[in-house]
Amino acid sequence: MTLGADNATLSGLGLKLDGSLAHVVRRLTYLYRMPTLDHQIRVGLNWVSQPLQALLAGSPQ
C-alpha cells in the first residue's frame, strides 16, 4: 500500500517495513511481476523520468 510520495508500508513473509525502504521494495516487486522485460523497462523508465521532468519543469511532484 502506498501512503504518499516515497512512503509505503509493506508486510508479508514475516517482514514489516515502512517508509522509503518499503516504497522501494514495493516498486521493485511490482517491476519483477511485470509480464515481460519490455514492460519492466517501460515502467521503470517512466518512474525515473517523471520526477526528472518535474524537476526540470520546476514544478513539485
In this prediction, residue 4 carries a pLDDT of 55
pLDDT in tens, 10-57: 677 777 878 888 788 888 989 999 999 999 999 999 998 988 888 899
pLDDT score recorded for residue 16: 83
The secondary structure of 1-61 as a DSSP string is -EEETTEEEEEETTEEEEEHHHHHHHHHHHHHTSSSHHHHHHHHHHHHHHHHHHHHHT---
Predicted model pTM: 0.64
Alpha carbon 41 to chain centroid, angstroms: 13
**Residues 11, 3, 23: CA angle, nearest 5 degrees:** 60
pLDDT at 60 over 50: yes
